[in-house]
Amino acid sequence: MLIPDAKNQSLLSLTLLFGLFCLSLNVEALVDRSLTTVNQIEIMQGDFNEILASGKLRILVQRDYSRVSYLPRKPSPLAEQLAVAEAFASSHGLRPELVLVSSFAKLIPALEAGKGDIIVANLTINDQRLKKISFSVPVDHVKEMIVVSKNNDSIKTVADLNGKKVMVNVGSTFWHALQWLKKNKYPAIDILSAPDHTNREQLLDILVTGDIDATIMDDNLVDIFESYRNDIKVAINFSSQRNIGWGIRKNAVQLVSEINRYLQLEHAVDEKRNIFSGDFDLIKKRKTLRVLLRNNSASYFLYRGELMGFEYEIISEFARFHNLRLKVIVPPGHDDFYDWLIDGKADLAMGFLEALDSRRAQSVEFTQPYHFASRHIIVHRDNKTKSIEDLNRQVLAVRLNSSENLSLAKLQQNGANLNIRSVDDSIEIEQLIQQVGDKTYDATLADEHLLEIALADSQPVRSALKLETEAAHSIAIKKKNIKLQTALNKFIKKTYKGEYYNVLYAKYFKNKGSVKRLAKGRIVDTLEGQISPFDKLIKKYSNRYGYDWRLITAQMYQESGFDPKAKSPAGAIGLMQLMPRTALSVGVDNMNDPAGNIKGGVKYLSWLRDRFDSELPIGERLWFSLAAYNAGLGHVQDARRLTKELGLNNKKWFGNTENAMLLLSKREYSSKARYGYVNGREPVKYVSEIKERFEAYIDMSGSL
């Protein structure tokens, strides 16, 4: 039996601590993972679809991760980030695979070479790295600290590094910053590269022996080491607050999108709240109505940054009437409507659904109809089809699990000889109509309102014949939600064929000018950057300051509707509605210049984000900083103090601090607030609508 030396005993102890900490966390994602080295990994450089096909997410980590990931007293931020990355993988049915890289400097080259999919390594987001790789939104904020041995009092300013030995990892932000200082200010700095395989603990050991004078580390890691070591100390801050993110390959656009969705919209929410079962009284108590909609020209789409759609506007009116926040969820396929509804992922589903008995057998119920439509066999305008008999040798395409398919099956039962081609459930009927127009298929079956959209859009199709039966469309809910069904039926009875309904119907289906205008301005692919005329600038500054570009776009629409000449009565100017004093503080000279206005707005939002204490969860900082952008930082801090007094959680915005913000418009509360009265409805509405639009931009990425 081999007896380990002291170094190996230390490693063995830390490995045991690693295992114990995994058990204490009870993180399922940590159980089913594999471990390999970068030299053993196969090259794969695809985007998210290829990753899904592979069944695994390859996470690049520095080889020493296990030695510092789980240490006594405090969990490491690296361990926490890794747990989140593994949870993200598990949420998509992927197995996490940790890929060990020998040194920090080799992480980005390994990512670029296709040896991994993401980097989790306390990686600072900066312009130099953004030229090589993409980043997730920030997962943490850090300050860089100059660390010295406990008895070293010779370093009190950055200038004191001149003539000193400083050891850091090659390729790190510390390395580049020191190189700049050496070249431009302090030429006598002796910059030493940390040897390969030297972990952070060993680097500190070298420090306290006196072989070097200082090293530099992020404060979230220094905090861990100081919790159990008394032989080191922080000499001075080396930098202001910086953003930490996960590194992602430049070409993996969809992976960036999915990770950002998870970090900002899913991981930030209590997972138990994503699955919810309850009738209308509990929905009103929760103040959020979750609706399943499909992204198409009839139900729900983006028009030059604005959320639109016939069904979307109908259910939005219902939500407004009951003072509910609307959360739209876009499922991947039509058949997912019912599975997701039954599972409690949504409260209702809309998509011009028919009340079928087969669905009622699955614990689904329906409201009374809110829409009726004739059904048409649609062919190319050059197609001479006039009867069912003419379709005998033609390919008629419909979705497999659709009411249209059932209608055609009835025709077959009555003797029609039809050549039906079943297509994937994720295909929209409007896509099938387009494919008939380009002669991919000979015919399809569609409701009249979809035919009207196609004709108004000048597509080369026509109705060959109209079926005798009419389709009745209803809202789907869970069978036991009787109160919700009653409320919806009451709303439909009041609204159907009324003035509001008729205006909407004409806007989306009847008025050719309106339909054509909506078709022309409809956003087809938000992932490639078609939301606004300023996407390129938004992406540039969002990346620089660590934001998902679609969030900034959603905020910009809220501020100015994409109008660079917008001016508010209060004097706010431009796309991001900067006030003159704010613009001056962030270095913007010309507020009318779109580039300067966007840069100033994003920089100011970043400044606000950094004003909140480190105890505020990273995901929540987003909503708090948006509220501060609208109402001012002081009023948000007042709201946080009041939230705590009310016994609510002042580290959460939705359902907690936003409630306190509303109270600050009442004298009994504002009179005791440091910054006094604020119209709390404005920031609450502001944050809520930006979140809804941001979710829509993400949900529609890569969709029709």
Q: Are 73 and 80 in contact (CB under 8 A)?
A: no
Alpha helix segments (H runs only) across 298-443:
310-321, 336-343, 357-360, 403-413, 429-437
Distances (CA, A) of 156 to 86, 215, 670: 40, 14, 44
* Interatomic CA distance for residues 324 and 289, integer angstroms: 6
Q: Is 627 helix (H, G, I), strand (E, B) or coil?
A: helix
> 144-149 and 232-237 as β-strands: parallel, antiparallel, unpaired?
antiparallel
**Eight-state DSSP code of residue 495:** H
* Tokens linked to 287: 């103040």
* Interatomic CA distance for residues 305 and 533, integer angstroms: 10
Q: Are 40 and 100 in contact (CB under 8 A)?
A: no
Q: Are 114 and 213 in contact (CB under 8 A)?
A: no
Q: Is 637 helix (H, G, I), strand (E, B) or coil?
A: helix
So which residues are the catalytic ones?
Answer: 559
631, burial (CB in 10 Å: exposed 0-12, middle 13-18, buried 19+) = buried
Q: Which of 133, 69, 122 is nearest to 245 (CA)?
A: 122
* Tokens linked to 210: 């006196």
* Interatomic CA distance for residues 633 and 5, integer angstroms: 55
Q: Are 85 and 25 in contact (CB under 8 A)?
A: no
Residue with token string 């934001």: 547
Residue with token string 């209308």: 280
Q: Are 267 and 85 in contact (CB under 8 A)?
A: no
SS3 track for 548-607: CHHHHHHHHHHHHCCCCCCECCCCCECCCCECHHHHHHCCCCCCCCHHHHHHHHHHHHHH
* Tokens linked to 318: 């219902």
Centre a 10 Å sphere on the Cβ of residue 269 and count the other Cβ atoms it contains: 13
Centre a 10 Å sphere on the Cβ of residue 245 and count the other Cβ atoms it contains: 26
